[in-house]
Structure 1
Amino acid sequence: MSMLVNCPNCRTQLQLPPAACFIRCTICLAVTQVDQTYFLSPPPPPYSSAYHHQYHVPVPPVPYPYGQMPAGQPVGVHGKKRAVVCGVSYRNTGLELKGSVNDAMCMKFLLRNRFNFPESSILMLTEEENDPDRKPTKENMRRALHWLVQGCQPGDSLVFHFSGHGSQLINYTGDELDGYDETLCPMDCQTEGMILDDEINETIVRPLPPGVKLHAIVDACHSGTVLDLPFLCRMNRSGHYVWEDHRPRSGVWKGTSGGEVISFSGCDDHQISIDTRALSKIALTGAMTFSFIQAIEHGYATTYGTMLNSMRSTIYNNDLGGNYVTSFPTMYPINDRSKQFYWFPYLKPFLEIR
């Protein structure tokens, strides 16, 4: 497995080959000795013996109907694209946010112009929409999540983006390591309630069949584990990361039915995210959404690792990480952060590694 570190001389991001002792920066040519403690193992596979040994609770197979794939349905390479983009501003309430609609519009622009998502395949939910069915109410958000995965086939690429408030509620089922459910807050959350991570997982994670990939970008407070995925890669302000196993000890399966989900979260479960002008220099945006889009626009989308490091550097270099965003929890069901970013398969690595 390889990983990304910054050159100590010029701060350029370098990709470390497995077991490398030294690496030369292709920009400033400085030679850096590699600390072997950087190399961490990827998360265990969903049914590893290590997990059984640690908790003594076997993980059961995913139950029918999600546990089976119809015969004769090969995993495709290219399929349809579909996205749900939510920007909730909470107008005329004490919860009002100024940058969430900007985040949603920027994400739509990225999907349309960089990844060729058809206009008709992007469902926008903001308070700017005239259609009442396109307002980010709890009911409309629920319908949108079901629409996102409805009829998905191998080769499909799905995106869920949310910019708004997140919160926490006490968990009573025992499937949360910290004792709290993470939530997303629709525009009518004060009257209709919030959407729990359990519901989000059941709606857009568990049904995903083999060959379908979902990227979730959640720019909200307390959003670290808002999709309830089995594994979490936590990166701190210095760029170091560690894998965490978040599978419930009860054995309840929170993964997919063979598909793949990658969720980028703006902060940890106990932290808050912010809107700021410090990054765009013009308009208020979510720090996480801006750094995510900038990483892609600047060519750091070759792997998930390069994206995480680029996002961290953006936050760190603009002095936004001291009191607010101190980590980027990024959750994966399988594999590791050196895997190629699916949206941008045609990009060449920015640095030549020798």
Structure 2
Amino acid sequence: MAARRERCNGCGIELLVPPEAQTFRCAVCQTITRARPNDPFGRAQEPVLQATSWFKGMINNMSSSINSVASSMNNNYSASPSPMPSYGYYPLPPRPQTYSASHGRKRALLCGVTYRWQSYELDGTINDVQCMRYFLVEKMGFPNDCILTLTEDEKDPYRIPTRRNIQMAFQWLVHGCQSGDSLVFHYAGHGKQQPDNKGEEIDGYDETICPLDFETEGMILDDEINATIVRPLPKGATLHAIIDSCHSGTVLDLPFLCRMNREGYYQWENHSPLSGAYKGTSGGLALSFSACDDNQTSASTTALSGTSTLTGAMTYSFIQAVQSEPGLTYGRVLTAMRSKIREANTGIRLNGPIASLIRKVLGTGLSQEPQLSSSERFDVYSRPFIL
């Protein structure tokens, strides 16, 4: 049966829980809430009703206003005081009017893709986005109207995580960015690799994220992510990416990867393209916490929350690590995330088409090690973590 919605008694955040769950633990505030009795005749149809309602709404919106919206978007964006450059790689589509015009010093793009009714459907990505939004607003002081959320639950057709919508959301995130701004990009969904035909990757593969329509419209390559949200960062601005997907170690194509062993010793690996192409910023700082190395896969799990609430292992461990102690450094965040995942490894639930085969071979779960990459080298144990 389909997962159902329950609201945490502690912080009020809405989560998806399995229909058989009697209790669930909130990934943000840790409150254990008793689930409501299951209603097999009502709530079980909720996903179908929601999908039908969303589809009808999308058709009505598009049929009534697509021409006027397209015209006004182009006019408005061309009149913007500081348009985003395309850097010669990927032409950027106009920003929809439905995206917030508010550009505070802190803003975030949260993207969760479930791929409903597909053989590769994921569980927990909506929970990941909901938890991350609550964490950023309530714990990190991000204004609520400066957070853009893309999921399949959204009623606005421009907020469904399609390839084009994610591209437009990237543009929204960095548009007008100035010194002192703090940007966050969180992605929970599938990630893949494909052969690199530009000779830029050390391992010969580009890393990608998979929009909802990736089978027809294509994946979004690390080259494009870098060109769109990394290279425009001006001096004094910071971007943090939190990427909860497979093969995500270098998905922002940043020049340096922090290679850390289990004892916490590290060195920065130079991942600058062999072609000599520039992958840094325009003076700002870009950092990425990713779920695993490029050759690893990530997982959703109930083991970290201690109950049947399903979340991405990386998203949950990141939120818990940042809240674990005052005065954290980047090194402490990374080691705390890795420790949390190692402790709960036997409860990990695998994602992806090869999940059943891996379960048979490994039995207890799939090991993943979160990674840190950056646009510049620094001492990870002395630089304070500031979001």
- Which of 281-290 and 221-230 deviates more? 281-290
- Whether 1:114 aligns to 2:156 is no
- Whether 1:333 aligns to 2:353 is no
Q: 2:224 maps to what in 1?
A: 199
Alignment of 1:262-341 (within 5 A): 262-282=287-307, 283-299=309-325, 302-319=328-345, 324-334=366-376, 335-338=378-381, 339-341=383-385
Q: CA deviation at 1:317?
A: 1.5
Give the secondary structure class of the aligned counterpart of 2:118. coil
Q: 2:241 maps to what in 1?
A: 216
| Identity among equivalent pairs (%) | 56
Give the secondary structure class of the aligned counterpart of 1:223. coil
User: Judging changes above 3 Å, is the alpha-carbon distance between structure 1 residues 309 and 126 closer, same or farther for their aligned structure 2 residues?
Assistant: same
Kindly tell me the number of residue pairs found equivalent between the two proteins. Answer: 268
- Opposite residue 169 of structure 1, the aligned amino acid is Q
> Structure 1 length normalisation: TM-score?
0.73
Q: CA deviation at 1:309?
A: 1.2
Q: 1:15 maps to what in 2?
A: none
- Opposite residue 338 of structure 2, the aligned amino acid is R
Q: CA deviation at 1:324?
A: 2.6
In 2, the alpha carbon distance for the partners of 1:197 and 1:297 equals 29
Q: CA deviation at 1:65?
A: 9.6
Q: CA deviation at 1:147?
A: 0.7
Q: CA deviation at 1:300?
A: 5.8
Give the secondary structure class of the aligned counterpart of 1:253. coil
Q: CA deviation at 1:237?
A: 4.2
Q: Deviations over 1:256-276 (max 9, x none)?
A: 010001100100111100001
**Aligned mate of 2:276, from 251, 254, 267:** 251
- Whether 1:129 aligns to 2:154 is yes
Alignment of 1:34-49 (within 5 A): none
Q: CA deviation at 1:236?
A: 3.9
Q: CA deviation at 1:238?
A: 4.6
Tell whether the 8 Å contact from 1:301 to 1:307 is kept in structure 2 after alignment. Answer: no
User: Judging changes above 3 Å, is the alpha-carbon distance between structure 1 residues 65 and 209 closer, same or farther for their aligned structure 2 residues?
Assistant: farther
Gaps of 5+ in 2: 1-84, 88-103, 349-363
Q: Which has the higher contact order (CA 8 A, sep 6+)?
A: 1
User: Judging changes above 3 Å, is the alpha-carbon distance between structure 1 residues 290 and 301 closer, same or farther for their aligned structure 2 residues?
Assistant: farther
In 2, the alpha carbon distance for the partners of 1:82 and 1:327 equals 27
Tell whether the 8 Å contact from 1:227 to 1:263 is kept in structure 2 after alignment. Answer: yes
Computed over aligned residues only, the root mean square deviation of the Cα atoms, in angstroms, reads 1.8
In 1, the alpha carbon distance for the partners of 2:310 and 2:262 equals 23
From the two aligned structures, give the one with the greater helix fraction: 2
Q: CA deviation at 1:187?
A: 0.9
Q: CA deviation at 1:118?
A: 1.1
Alignment of 1:2-13 (within 5 A): none
> Structure 2 length normalisation: TM-score?
0.67
User: Judging changes above 3 Å, is the alpha-carbon distance between structure 1 residues 300 and 176 closer, same or farther for their aligned structure 2 residues?
Assistant: farther
Tell whether the 8 Å contact from 1:276 to 1:287 is kept in structure 2 after alignment. Answer: yes
Tell whether the 8 Å contact from 1:182 to 1:222 is kept in structure 2 after alignment. Answer: yes
- Whether 1:153 aligns to 2:178 is yes
- Opposite residue 298 of structure 2, the aligned amino acid is S
